[in-house]
Chains A and B, each alone.
Chain A
């Protein structure tokens, strides 16, 4: 059980700066998800927390203790790697025991911890097998098991689900969340999948190009994105953005001053003409429960709509759409929410 604090953490690889000063606090027992586009520095940040990567500048504090100069082996954290990184020449049992043996733990205690973890993860039947003889999902569970037996103060996950197929991913997502509830440890979870982030996190940290864009609860980020990047990144399908100048006067009239960009989520648009936007339909997708409409405004900007019912609107038809005032997002010239 531990809380973690990053103070102005920076990382530079041979002059290329990847992390530009990150401040972050994660309190005890929190499930914190680091999310961001590919290459934004999530893994690098996680590896710095783990102690696998040197910290160029700043401080990492665990439970009030600065750990910058403490090696990965001594930080007492556990990490689940994207590729699982199971030791291929050891059986599942040996994989689980390796970390405990290194801590010079007694044999009975090792056995006991392994039995507990194995029951929790339902991998009793594979203990004697080598990783090469397991399916992707089973390996995944062994990798998590290797972290669990250590009983670490903080769990670190680096995209642990990205090698699984969609169905298994949803199932494991639920299991992981349940595991967190049961163990109550601090977990830091890296992903670039915003659905994972939304469903699992107590707290989401959105990272872009080495800086933190916004920190908050999932709904907070959804409802009140701090800037255009977060607004676009959180929520699926993506939020629609329209140039302020191209809006009809009717809409402009209730916009705050300094507005430069107007944003509205596809699910907040409906067919009607209170704040009318004219739209020419280019494509229609019917999913049964929902329908997605894709169209172009008068000023040739793309716009998508999500309807939670089936529709008979045809391609190339022209429709009027509308939205509730309070669902509109406004951003200034620098992309910051107003």
Chain B
């Protein structure tokens, strides 16, 4: 620690901070901010709840608001929008709960019995009881099995079935339940959204009243709000600087714990598997890359053979080819060789990199030939010259290559997409992250949290390997 303080209190010669010192420290600080701020932003956002992220909340900290629930219920009379107040937290946060919390601490079946009418229907949908009850109904009444699958069928397939005929023998409540489950007109899945509860002066009555608000954007002068006492009265505009909001700090750790324990609703997200795949790809690919590149560089820098220059030029020329041009070629290669769907299909196409060969060759050129000749006089085989002389001496450059390779492999999306996008079990972490942005559900909160997790390994690698780069440069010396 004192070393850090000493480092940061250094001045240029004189004791006092000079003009140059100010500029230097200012520059350092600016650079620090530019690099650090996006990371800090990512970290803080990764513990915001899904609700906050969907509301595009701009607070730095995960400050949660008091919430009310706005329900939309569809029925024969059209849709009704209303607000349910004073629900317990576990109901409001139902979608943000872990599975075991849902089951253990609460009893939704008993809870909804306290309500009736549209509030009952809204809560039944929200707490996930529609399909449960509908399935029980189908079973009890001996209705055909295909009804259970009907909601998830493609529209074309649905044409072959006619559920309406089975509704006839049922009572009104049962018809409603089955219709909601099967999404038959005039029913639709009921909407149930949390909204922010704010207090503001009602421009009509000049009294303080409660409003529900979809999102708070302080950049705008007015906010669209719905009066809680009269939700059917529609949207009113209230001045954004006069509202009173209750906030409390509520970090959402499930963003981390759910994906890491394979507990994400609606998908099979196995973070450990994804991370394992990525670690395997990164380590194996980096070892192979270092081997192939250093051997190629050794040959190009230390042997004289026909076509040496040509080879070197060809290798360098591949640098000019943009990676995106190669995608189709790589895809064909991978599928023809039967590597598609395996991690080797990710590893092998990128194993030799022209940049790596070039960098190592240039470094190896600085190793004096006399050392190799001395080794030859010492009866060393070419193989042991490479392993015992050239490789250790090129270690600084090899460390750089290894770091670049690790970072590239870990963050790579293109090769995994080409090689394993159809094989879920071979997904690397980057492909897995992509899964959170599905066609129907955007689970941005999980994605942010898992992005943070995926940053940890590369950061550690850099912290541990960077000293090789600096020590290496200083300690090559022959005479």
Residues of A near any B CB (own CB < 8 A):
47, 50-52, 71-74, 77-79, 81, 83-89, 98-99, 102-103, 132, 139, 146, 150, 163
Tell me whether B478 and A88 are in contact (CB under 8 A).
yes
Given known contacts A73-B381, A102-B378, A150-B378, A87 and B389 CB-to-CB distance under 8 angstroms: yes
Tell me whether A73 and B380 are in contact (CB under 8 A).
yes
**Chain B residue total in the interface (Cβ 8 A):** 22
> How far apart sit A52 and B380, CA to CA, in the bound complex (Å)?
13
Partner of A132, one of B374, B384, B475: B475
> How far apart sit A132 and B474, CA to CA, in the bound complex (Å)?
12
Within 8 Å of chain A (Cβ to Cβ): is B368?
yes
> How far apart sit A298 and B371, CA to CA, in the bound complex (Å)?
56
Which chain B residue shows the least CB distance to A53?
B373
Tell me whether A81 and B380 are in contact (CB under 8 A).
no
Type the 1/0 row for B378-422, where 1 means its CB is closer than 8 Å to any CB of A. 111100100011001100000000000000000000000000000
Chain A: minimal CB distance from B364 (Å): 14
Which chain B residue shows the least CB distance to A52?
B373
Tell me whether B380 and A85 are in contact (CB under 8 A).
no
Given known contacts A98-B388, A132-B477, A85 and B378 CB-to-CB distance under 8 angstroms: no
Tell me whether A83 and B376 are in contact (CB under 8 A).
no
Chain A: minimal CB distance from B388 (Å): 7
Which chain A residue shows the least CB distance to B373?
A52
Which 5 A-B residue pairings sit nearest by Cβ, starting from the closest? A99-B378, A85-B374, A85-B370, A102-B379, A73-B379
> How far apart sit A235 and B371, CA to CA, in the bound complex (Å)?
35
Tell me whether B378 and A81 are in contact (CB under 8 A).
no
> How far apart sit A328 and B441, CA to CA, in the bound complex (Å)?
109
Tell me whether B373 and A85 are in contact (CB under 8 A).
yes
Counting chain B CB atoms within 10 Å of each CB, which of A52, A74, A86, A103 scores highest? A52
Partner of B368, one of A78, A79, A85, A163: A85
Tell me whether B388 and A88 are in contact (CB under 8 A).
no
Chain B: minimal CB distance from A212 (Å): 25
Type the 1/0 row for B340-380, where 1 means its CB is closer than 8 Å to any CB of A. 00000000000000000000000000001011011111111
Write 16 A-B pairs (CB below 8 A) sorted by A numbering: A72-B373, A73-B376, A73-B381, A79-B373, A83-B370, A87-B371, A87-B374, A88-B371, A88-B475, A98-B375, A98-B388, A102-B380, A103-B379, A132-B475, A146-B378, A150-B378
Within 8 Å of chain A (Cβ to Cβ): is B476?
yes
> How far apart sit A88 and B377, CA to CA, in the bound complex (Å)?
17
Within 8 Å of chain A (Cβ to Cβ): is B132?
no
Tell me whether B376 and A52 are in contact (CB under 8 A).
yes
Chain A: minimal CB distance from B325 (Å): 40
